[in-house]
Amino acid sequence: MAKNYRAELTGVFGDPVDDNPTGVVEEAAFQEKGLNYRYLTIKVLPEDLEDAMKSVRIFGMKGINLTMPHKVKVLSYLDELSEAAEIIGAVNTVINRDGKLYGENTDGKGFVTALEESGTDLKDKVVTILGAGGAARAIAVECALRGAKQITIINRSEERGAELAKLLNEKTDCPARYLKWTSAMEIPGDTQILINATSAGFSPNVKEKPDIAYDTVTASMCVCDVVFNPAETVFLAEAAKRGAKTVNGLGMLVRQAALNFTLWTGEEAPLDIMTEALKKEF
Binding-site residues for NADP(+) sit at 83, 131-135, 226, 249
Q: Closest CB to ligand NDP among 36 and 252?
A: 252
Kindly state whether residue 135 participates in binding ligand NDP, applying the rule CB under 6 A: yes
Q: Closest CB to ligand NDP among 165 and 200?
A: 200
Catalytic residue IDs: 71
Kindly state whether residue 200 participates in binding ligand NDP, applying the rule CB under 6 A: yes
Kindly state whether residue 155 participates in binding ligand NDP, applying the rule CB under 6 A: yes
Q: How many residues bind ligand NDP (CB under 6 A)?
A: 24
Order of strands across the sheet that contains 93-97: 37-43, 8-14, 63-66, 93-97, 100-104, 80-81
Q: Closest CB to ligand NDP among 195 and 221?
A: 195
What letters, b where the CB count within 10 A reaches 16 and e where it falls short, cover 139-178? Answer: bbbbbbbbebebbbbbbbeeebbbebbebbbebbebebeb
- Residues paired with residue 150 on neighbouring β-strands, in sequence order: 126
CB-neighbour burial class of residue 15 (10 A; exposed 0-12, middle 13-18, buried 19+)? middle
Least distance CB 260 / ligand NDP (angstroms) = 11
Binding track over 21-60 against ligand NDP, x by CB under 6 A: ----------------------------------------
Contact positions with ligand NDP (CB under 6 A) in 79-108: 107
Residue among 10, 113, 198, 233 that touches ligand NDP (CB under 6 A): 198
Q: Is the peptide bond before 46 cis (omega within 30 degrees of 0)?
A: no
Residue among 13, 30, 37, 228 that touches ligand NDP (CB under 6 A): 228
144: Cα separation from own chain's centroid: 15
Kindly state whether residue 176 participates in binding ligand NDP, applying the rule CB under 6 A: no
Segment near ligand NDP (CB under 6 A), from 55-63, 132-140, 171-179, 267-275?
A: 132-140
In 75-186, at which residue ranges do the beta strands (DSSP E only) sit?
A: 80-81, 93-97, 100-104, 126-130, 150-155, 176-180
Q: Which residues are annotated as a binding site?
A: 67, 83, 92, 107, 131-135, 226, 249, 256
Report yes or no: 259 and 110 within 8 Å, Cβ to Cβ.
Answer: yes
Kindly state whether residue 167 participates in binding ligand NDP, applying the rule CB under 6 A: no
Kindly state whether residue 182 participates in binding ligand NDP, applying the rule CB under 6 A: no
- CA-nearest of 188, 131, 125 to 155 is 131
CB-neighbour burial class of residue 48 (10 A; exposed 0-12, middle 13-18, buried 19+)? middle
Kindly state whether residue 226 participates in binding ligand NDP, applying the rule CB under 6 A: yes
Question: Which residue minimizes CB distance to ligand NDP?
Answer: 133
Give Cα separations from 166 to 23, 155, 178, 198, 277 (angstroms): 35, 14, 9, 19, 39
Give kind and range of the element (H or E) at residue 111.
Answer: helix 106-117
Segment near ligand NDP (CB under 6 A), from 25-33, 142-150, 154-162, 235-243?
A: 154-162
Interacting residue ranges for ligand NDP, rule: CB under 6 A: 107, 110, 131-136, 155-157, 160, 198-200, 202, 210, 226-228, 249, 252-253, 256
